[in-house]
């Protein structure tokens, strides 16, 4: 009679292999969760004012490749610094009249979409445009230069913190990322995007219409609406028709943001500002968003937008004090941007102007 048994060493090795297999499958989500939590913790310990910016930065530049994360982080920091400096230099001339701010946002947004389509520094152009518009929007509330300087510096330090944490986490997970890349090799070939000259014009017109609405109603999510416009019109390389790409990104950004907001509104009342429940809910939402992002290509962008919205909702200026009204107002800003984009695209189609 043969009796088979596993030695404790073999059982431990088998258990470790299973753990590594699960970790490899969810490594991106684990990195994002770690980077977001560490960014928020360090931002809070340092006494920074906008921990959500650090959290968004750590997520936005996250990649399982150290090189890719570093390059993206460099672009994000560079664009943020240059955009903030540009806004400060022009603030004296633009804060006197809201009409100039509207024109400024339209021009900067249009230029960012144009350069993002042809430049290898596309991410820097995007962050430069977003930061400059954020500073100019803040100037409508408080035009004192010292306040704007501090606001801009706060923006830069939060972005630098989030990017630094992201790179550190990516380096820490390098052995597992390396093993995953060997197990599932990536294809690096991407089609070259065609020139899309009407996209900058469409983005500029959209911002020309969106900005006055946000200013009149003083919506909290001003910058999120600006980001929505740029995110929809800055397209990756693809063989799909441009109109189809824009429509898909509009829908997935809208659905992702709305799903995160509606789910958070259900969960927020039961949190009672209790930190353990807050952290558990934040982590669960981050994992779900990253899982969707790493899934089928048809829902990948939806998952990314869900994650972005989840961070915006749960990481506000005061930790543990997530206010539902803030989530609603930011979602309304995004909704307004998507509606205006749809109207602009419809007019272009009616005029038979193809991109």
Q: Which two tokens stand for residue 130?
A: 């977003």
Q: 294 in helix, strand or coil?
A: coil
For residue 272, the model assigns a pLDDT of: 63
pLDDT in tens, the chain (355 residues): 455 445 666 666 565 555 555 555 688 999 999 999 999 999 989 988 889 899 999 999 998 889 999 999 999 999 999 999 999 988 877 666 778 888 888 999 999 999 887 888 888 999 999 999 888 888 877 888 899 999 999 999 999 999 999 999 999 988 877 766 655 555 544 455 556 778 889 999 999 998 888 877 776 667 778 888 888 888 876 667 777 888 888 889 889 988 988 888 888 777 766 778 888 889 999 999 999 998 788 788 899 999 998 998 888 776 666 667 777 777 788 888 899 998 998 898 888 776 5
pLDDT at 189 (0 to 100): 46
Please provide the size of the chain in residues.
355
pLDDT given at position 145: 87
Q: How far apart are CA 18 and CA 21, in angstroms?
A: 5
How far is the C-alpha of 101 from the C-alpha of 323, rounded, in Å? Answer: 29
The span from the CA of 353 to the CA of 355, in Å, is 7
pTM: 0.85
CB atoms within 10 A of CB 351: 8
DSSP H helical ranges for 218-296: 222-233, 242-271, 275-293
Exposure string for 206-240, b = 16+ CB within 10 A, e = fewer: bbbbbbeebbeeebbbbbbbbbbbbbbbbbeeeee
Q: Which of 40, 30, 23, 46 lies closest to 279, judged by CA? A: 40
Is residue 75 within 8 Å of 198, Cβ to Cβ?
no
């Amino acid at each position: 009679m043969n009796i088979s048994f596993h030695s404790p060493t073999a059982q431990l090795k088998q258990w470790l292999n299973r753990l590594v297999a699960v970790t490899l499958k969810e490594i991106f989500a684990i990195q994002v969760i770690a980077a977001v939590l560490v960014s928020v913790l360090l931002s809070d310990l340092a006494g920074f004012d906008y921990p959500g910016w650090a959290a968004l930065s750590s997520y936005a530049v996250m990649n399982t490749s150290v090189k890719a994360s570093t390059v993206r982080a460099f672009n994000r920091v560079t664009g943020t610094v240059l955009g903030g400096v540009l806004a400060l230099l022009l603030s004296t001339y633009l804060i006197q009249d809201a009409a100039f701010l509207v024109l400024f946002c339209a021009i900067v947004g249009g230029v960012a979409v144009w350069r993002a389509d042809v430049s290898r520094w596309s991410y820097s152009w995007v962050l430069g445009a977003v930061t400059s518009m954020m500073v100019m929007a803040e100037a409508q509330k408080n035009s004192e230069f010292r306040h704007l300087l501090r606001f801009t510096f706060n923006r830069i330090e939060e972005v630098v913190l989030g990017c630094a944490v992201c790179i550190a986490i990516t380096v820490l997970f390098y052995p597992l990322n390396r093993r995953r890349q060997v197990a599932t090799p990536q294809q690096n070939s991407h089609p070259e995007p065609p020139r899309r000259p009407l996209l900058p014009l469409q983005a500029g017109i959209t911002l020309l219409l969106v900005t006055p609405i946000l200013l009149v109603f003083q919506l909290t999510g001003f910058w999120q609406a600006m980001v929505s416009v740029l995110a929809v019109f800055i397209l990756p390389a693809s063989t799909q028709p441009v109109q189809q790409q824009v429509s898909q990104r509009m829908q997935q950004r809208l659905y992702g943001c709305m799903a995160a907001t509606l789910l958070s509104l259900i969960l927020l009342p039961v949190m009672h500002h209790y930190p353990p429940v807050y952290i558990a809910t934040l982590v669960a939402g981050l994992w779900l968003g990253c899982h969707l992002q790493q899934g089928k290509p048809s829902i990948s962008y939806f998952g990314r937008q869900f994650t972005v919205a989840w961070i915006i909702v749960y990481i506000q200026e005061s930790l543990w004090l997530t206010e539902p009204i803030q989530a609603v107002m930011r979602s309304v800003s995004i909704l307004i941007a998507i509606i205006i984009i749809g109207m602009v695209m419809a007019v272009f189609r009616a005029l038979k102007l193809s991109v």
